Chains A and B, each alone.
Chain A
Amino acid sequence: VASRRVLITGVGSFLGTEIARRLETDPDIDYLAGLDDRPPRARLERMDFIEADIRNPVISKLIPQAEVDTIVHNKIVRRPGPGMSSRSAHDINVIGSLQLLAACEKADTLSSIVVRGSAGVYGSEPAAPQFFTEEMARRYPLRTRFQRDVAEIENYFDTFSRRHPRVVCTMLRYQPSIGPSLDSQVTRYLAQPLVPTYLGFDPRLQFVHEADAVDALVAAIKNPVRGPVNVAGPGTIGLTRLVRLAGKPTLPLPPGVFPTVVDAGRRLGLDSISPDFRRLLRFGRAVDTARLVDEVGYEPRHTTVEAVEDYVRTQRGRRLMPVFREAVAR
């Protein structure tokens, strides 16, 4: 496959722009198009920006015209941002994916689809195996709206790839990303002056470094693999250690009052915490990345702990503990 023509949805997000920027400099990529209803975060030289809402049926006309062989679906809302209702997040996720697939039906040149999905499909369960492998989706009931959205999206793409065996459909299941320049649910959570946690719980969490998040996707474009693939930094980190490394004081709350206090905190200007993230903060989740390494051929450069350390290095907040420690060490 010498020359590739690629289209990215959701190019206006941070990772969308980063992926586009990476693909632009790639000599194997002949043509690059980006579709979103908001412009990319940075100036992109080669990319064709198609301004359209993914929920709009007009994309069924626009996408086939681009004559691409690969579509990267990056327009999946993990947490509704400011000014976005959870209803419209759900619309973008589900209706957007359906419209995209309708457009794919008409794109004859298409040979692969890469979806930046979520490991949220596994949920967050106290009794789950420590590391989910790709076969372990849907072992537990779907508990949150986002989880149901992801499961539904996976269903649509499954059905599509069964109907069109020539199109290779890769479902990348991403763990939450973290990194120095990223603005994600995790980084916003850690940026609060006081970090709410569940009293008596220290879940195992797993993250993917922002650079690995981009590179894993590029690797999946180059080497499309059928079916789901977990994307995460190897290893795990305990929530307590994460918050201590970030140098933030915690506010441990009993599970019964956690939602009330967090919702009250939101009115006071603290960050809101989505239902998925709440479950993550209580029970944690980790995935096995053997398939990413063995079949896609991408080895993450940062373990989960290294990704966190890289994030922490660039933060300047209240850092009481290191000062204290140096004093004692003397």
Chain B
Amino acid sequence: MSSGVHTQSGPNGGGSQTPPPRKGPRDPRSARPGSFPGAFPIGPAISFLRRFRAGLDSGRELPAALGEAGGALPRELREALDRMVRRLAGDYQEDEWGFDEEFADALLPFLEFLYDSWWRVETVGARNVPSHGRALLVANHAGILPWDATMISVGLVREHPLPRYPRFLVLDWAFQLPYISVAMRKLGGVVASPYNALRLLEQDELVAVFPEGVKGAGKPFKERYRLQRFGRGGFVELALRTGSPIVPVGVVGSEEIYPKIGEAPPLARLIGAPYFPLTPTFPLLGPLGVIPLPSRWRIQFGEPIDTVRFGPDAAEDRSFVFELSEQVRESIQQLVYEGLVERGSAFL
């Protein structure tokens, strides 16, 4: 997992060979200005432009001049430039779902900034997630936009001894939207369909689901820590049929990022959205209202529930599926309550 370009261009760039040490949420390092992804190396940029102009003046073609001037840049930037040019030539890999690991890695510095500095996430029990083979992460869902899915990903990448990116099932409405649909796919999102989940599990992937679905993402602020009904327990059927262990995940903190105080159903109908949230800042402040509030987060992975011992036929047993689904819901609710106590104050 290469950790982006910009994180190493700060003052701590000397130790670039060792992976960045795991940071706790209260680590003072996260507040250091150099680790902010916006730091821009001005010196190399000037020498790059000088060499670029000199190259053009001596009568070279544009691409050749650019390439030679690239020598003036620090290694990370040169690699970034090379990667960009390579991607523009179509030379990059996406899997059959459109997941683009290179893209996800490149976005990691930004997500890590959110993880460390903005939401000060604390991840507990990442070792409960199997390192190999299929597994189903089942998490609570809140906060309108799927930031909780991205933070679960970062939490795993940072805290798991053998990290891998989870794939997550996303409400199909998102795939009608420009840009959002592209970003979702590149980061490992797929249309929330049992066929997709089944295929991913059969490919031995780590799949994250949010059985609360829209009901969870759009729950009113006063019910923010109460889990909604878990649909028809479809995720349990999938786990049973594929013999995937179920890992309950409790996320605390996503409830506060967009405190939903109301809804505007006519607007939702107008744009075809499942609901149109009203928060203290949205749509009042326009695009600024999309910036999530900096609550403090805690993500806790629970003990995995083995499903192999029930056998695939158990998926047909309605009452058993409901029972297991309710059991998973209970344990996530428990993780959320525990997390609330551990986390303490929501914003400080």
Contacts and interface: CB of A to CB of B under 8 A. Distances in A.
Contacts of B177: 200
A236 B82 contact: no
B172 A328 contact: no
A143 interface: no
Contact of B196 (A130, A247, A255, A327): A130
Contacts, number: 109
Interface string B34-54: 000000000000000000000
B67 A328 contact: yes
Contact of B185 (A204, A243, A247): A204
A128 B90 contact: no
Nearest to A304: B96
Contacts of B88: 244, 321, 324-325
Given A238-B94, A324-B63, A330-B67, A127 B172 contact: yes
B320 interface: no
A129 interface: yes
Interface string A228-263: 000000111110011111110000000100000000
Interface in B85-106: 85-92, 94, 96-98
**How many residues of B sit at the interface, in one of the four size bands?**
35 or more
Interface stretch (B187-195, B221-229, B252-260, B301-309): B187-195
Contacts of A286: 96
A131 B179 contact: no
Interface in B242-263: none
A235 B175 CA distance: 19
A303 to B, nearest CB: 9
Nearest to A288: B199
B271 to A, nearest CB: 14
Interface string B115-140: 00000000000000000000000000
B166 interface: no
A245 B96 CA distance: 17
A277 interface: no
A131 B196 CA distance: 8
Given A126-B172, A241-B92, A241-B94, 10 more contacts: A131-B199, A200-B181, A201-B182, A234-B96, A244-B90, A321-B89, A323-B63, A324-B66, A325-B85, A327-B63
22 contacts: A127-B173, A201-B182, A202-B98, A202-B182, A204-B98, A234-B96, A238-B98, A241-B94, A243-B90, A245-B90, A247-B90, A322-B89, A323-B63, A324-B85, A327-B61, A327-B64, A327-B67, A328-B63, A328-B67, A328-B82, A330-B67, A330-B68
Q: 9 closest pairs, A vs B, by CB?
A: A200-B178, A244-B90, A127-B172, A245-B90, A327-B67, A327-B63, A129-B195, A321-B89, A126-B175
